[in-house]
Amino acid sequence: MKYQFQSEQGNMSFKPKMFTEAIKILIGINAGLFLLKFISQSQIDLARILGLSPSSVWPMIWQPVTYMFIHGDVFHILINMFVLWMFGSEMESIWGRKQFLRYYFLTGVGSGLVWLLFNIGQSYSVLIGASGAIYGILLAYGMMFPNRTVYLYFMIPIKVKWFVIFLGAVAFLSSFNNHSNISHITHLSGMVIGFGYLRYYWHWKDIRFSVYKQLKEFKISIKDRKDQNTLKMQQQIDHLLDKINETGYDNLTDEEKDLLYKASKDFSKGRKKD
């Protein structure tokens, strides 16, 4: 995952690209489930089945994932899918589909679990929507391209870094309001989880690489030591065989005979069978 605190294109305004592969899949699933929810609302409540609820998350263990694909109304899904396309398309182009989806689900599922932790015991609470993952993408875009310009309400120019900071501050202050239908704690959690992942991703990757390197070097050193011992023993055996050719086996000392016997056993163990 390529990550850096800079803007590759200076202060240029963001120009969304065409739909990337993961974005198309995510928007397609969200749109399909929204349509199904609308059509079947008189027969079945998909929000209760696929939404995240403290009262039903067990045994419905799929809810921490599926809640991200259920939305309440047209405005809810439109704004989330628009932001996903607008900012997520470039992030997927940079990271690749696999890394983008990993980040998307990490922030989405993670923020849902944080919300669940804060709502234990509230059996009538149900969380739906992809906002946790969307806020995680906004945070990632702000860290990747802090000096780019976006237009708030399509009119007011603002640098991405200030836009993201503003969203984070609103989410933080609003999280203290328990009477809102909007889950600001989910928004804030998505940003915090995203920041932690992006900030320390390469650090932990370097640690894993260092451990792997040390283990590899240790294995190589053991192999080199074995090879050296084998070479040394081979030289000793060659010397004993020369001595046998010159003076005969009976003229070897007891130590030399033991060494020759031990070497023959070691070589026979290492010989592959047909």
pLDDT in tens, 215-271: 777 777 787 777 787 777 778 777 777 777 777 777 777 777 777 777 776 666 554
Closest CA to 51 of 37, 32, 38, 39: 37
Fold of 21-210: Rhomboid-like fold (1.20.1540)
Burial class (CB in 10 A: 0-12, 13-18, 19+), 90: buried
CA atoms within 13 A on the CB side of 263: 19
Among residues of the chain, what percentage have pLDDT more than 70?
80
pTM for the whole thing?
Answer: 0.67
DSSP labels, 51-72: SB-TTTTTT-TTHHHHGGG--S
Q: What sections of 40-183 are H helices per DSSP?
A: 46-50, 63-66, 74-95, 97-118, 131-144, 160-174
Give me the sign of the Cα torsion angle 183, 185, 188, 194: negative
From residue 228, how far is each of 52, 186, 194, 196 by CA, in Å? 62, 60, 50, 47
Q: How far apart are CA 181 and CA 120, in angstroms?
A: 17
d(C-alpha 70, C-alpha 76), whole Å: 10
Q: Look at 194 and 184; give whichever has higher pLDDT.
A: 194
Q: How confident is the model at residue 205 (pLDDT cuts 50, 70, 90)?
A: low
Between 134 and 121, the more confident residue is: 134
pLDDT value of position 7:
37
CATH 1.20.1540.10 residue ranges of the chain are 21-210
Radius of gyration of the chain (CA): 32
pLDDT of residue 2: 39
Q: Which residues pair with 156 in a beta bridge?
A: 152
